[in-house]
């Protein structure tokens, strides 16, 4: 039986990562003060990261035999997709809340959706680039968040992120092109990533 961390354990992990990045942050952030806006945003980013990592940890602990490359068109693989989603939803039910109060923009579901899409290709992508792929997802979310908060993206509109090209140092012919289209909805925004791999791993 896999061990699910408690809400407090998740909170402590989020706070640890947040304060490693922001050692200057005060112990208590204001709930809506402009001076702490960037810090509140950073805390929530780390919250989303911790939830996704926790779901991955539980998934591999429970299903070590699961394929590392998932094909969403393969009926046999639907059980693995359903298993991860069930774990993620359970982890999210213990979602730690910020000490400064609930903030408006939670990107947990969007991050999980994008990562689920790009992970389908991890079996084709050299491991050295996996971190760059995840960093690209975070940069997309940062840009999307800024556009929404600045009023540059209104509900009902689409946003297409600029393509990102990654190249392997181990094999210069191994390249990955990443793209993203987001349908912005105030309640349930939907994100669809695209992945093209040149000279993929077999």
Tell me the pLDDT tens digit for each residue of 108-129: 778 888 988 898 899 999 999 9
Any idea what DSSP says for residue 156?
T
**pLDDT tens per residue across span 6-46:** 878 888 888 899 999 999 988 887 767 788 888 888 888 88
pLDDT computed for residue 30 by the predictor:
75
**pLDDT of res. 66:** 84
Say yes or no to pLDDT of 98 above 70: no
Cβ neighbors of 55 (< 8 A, separation 6 or more) are 84, 87, 88, 91, 112
CA–CA distances in Å: residue 8 to residues 5, 158, 189: 8, 37, 29
The reported pLDDT for the residue numbered 103 is 40
Q: Give how far Cα 162 sits from Cα of 40, 110, 121, 180, 192, Å.
A: 27, 18, 20, 8, 13
Closest to 118 (Cα-Cα) out of 37, 191, 35 = 191
pLDDT in tens, 68-93: 777 777 888 888 888 888 888 788 77
Q: Which pLDDT value is given to residue 49?
A: 83
Q: CB within 8 A of 70, min separation 6: which ones? A: 77, 80, 81, 119, 120
């Amino acid at each position: 039986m896999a061990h699910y961390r408690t809400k407090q354990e998740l909170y402590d992990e989020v706070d640890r990562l947040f304060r490693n990045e922001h050692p200057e942050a005060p112990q208590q952030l204001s709930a809506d003060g402009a001076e702490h806006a960037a810090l509140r945003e950073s805390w929530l980013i780390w919250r989303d990261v911790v939830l996704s990592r926790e779901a991955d940890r539980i998934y591999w602990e429970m299903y070590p035999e699961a394929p590392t490359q998932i094909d969403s068109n393969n009926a046999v693989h639907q059980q693995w997709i359903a298993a991860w989603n069930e774990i993620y939803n359970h982890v999210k039910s213990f979602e730690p809340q910020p000490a400064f109060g609930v903030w408006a923009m939670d990107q947990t579901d969007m991050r999980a959706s994008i990562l689920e899409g790009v992970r389908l290709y991890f079996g084709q992508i050299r491991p050295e680039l996996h971190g760059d792929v995840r960093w690209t997802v975070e940069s997309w979310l940062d840009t999307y968040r800024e556009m929404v908060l600045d009023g540059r993206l209104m509900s009902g509109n689409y946003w297409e992120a600029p393509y990102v090209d990654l190249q392997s140092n181990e094999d210069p012919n191994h390249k990955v092109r990443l793209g993203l289209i987001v349908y912005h909805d105030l309640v349930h925004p939907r994100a669809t990533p695209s992945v093209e791999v040149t000279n993929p791993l077999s």
